[in-house]
Structure 1
Amino acid sequence: MNQRKGLARIIAATGYSYKGVKAAWKHEEAFRQEVVLMLLMAPLAFWVGDNFAEQMILLGSVVLVVVVELLNSAIEAITDRVSTDYHKLSGRAKDMGSAAVFVALFLMIFVWGVKIYQLLM
């Protein structure tokens, strides 16, 4: 087995990552929606946050949603690869992935809500 090392490994990994984002964009509507949300909210994080730490927390909460959606999409893809027939473990895996996205979305809403509340008070 000839494993890449150093810069060659980084270049190959970047290519795999690009393919993953491209596949998610093509096949996952939720991913597309969350990327658009991120692109809209990212500039707002720098306007709403009072300092660098707040800006990064606001931005990070939005980016986290996209990261978790990518993982959820990967779980769904591998589960469907194994079988499209219903199985309780497959259903459980997909439900847990969905729950992870829900928790990330809740965290984002909470973080932004607290900051907006502070601005209004």
Structure 2
Amino acid sequence: MRGLGSAWRLESAFRQELALATLLLPLALLLPLEPVPRLALIASVILVLIVELLNSGIEAAVDRISLDVHRLAGRAKDYGSAAVLLALGLCGLTWALLAGPVIWRLLVN
């Protein structure tokens, strides 16, 4: 719980993704979906939060070791950021494919 609180206080990206999660998770529960697609929507959102926490941990550890610019430190941070980007892409694709058609049908009817 301390890690979640720290991420909330110190990491703006985590706050932004958590704000998105507070919108998407209830929507996933309200949409008329079968259990497996609903679980995939929820899991994709939670995965983004998990990867963001890991990325923040990597950044904190690298900064603790040294604030000097070093190519390996930059690479570690870049890998963490790339992981977040991939998780966000997976989340977006999951929502587009599973929730998109359902939301479209609800809006059109």
- Do the structures match in fold with TM over 0.5? yes
RMSD: 1.2
CA distance in 2, matches of 1:94, 1:49: 39
Q: In structure 1, what is the equivalent of residue 89 of structure 2?
A: 106
CA distance in 2, matches of 1:106, 1:81: 29
Give 1:65's match in structure 2, choosing from 48, 59, 66.
48
**Superposition misfits of 4+ residues, deviation over 4 angstroms:** none
Deviations 1:33-68 (A, max 9, x none): 111111111011122351111111001000100000
Q: In structure 2, what is the equivalent of residue 23 of structure 1?
A: 6
Report how many aligned residue pairs link the two structures.
Answer: 104
Q: Residue 67 of structure 2 aligns to a residue in which SS? A: coil
CA distance in 1, matches of 2:100, 2:29: 17
Taking only the aligned residue pairs, the percentage that are identical comes to 46
Q: In structure 1, what is the equivalent of residue 71 of structure 2?
A: 88
What is the letter of the counterpart of residue 26 of structure 1?
R
Q: Residue 110 of structure 1 aligns to a residue in which SS? A: helix
Structure 1: 5+ residue stretches without partners: 1-17
CA distance in 2, matches of 1:55, 1:81: 39
Structure 2: 5+ residue stretches without partners: none
Q: In structure 2, what is the equivalent of residue 51 of structure 1?
A: 34
CA distance in 1, matches of 2:62, 2:74: 9
Please tell me whether the aligned partners of residues 49 and 58 of structure 1 are also in contact (alpha carbons under 8 angstroms): no
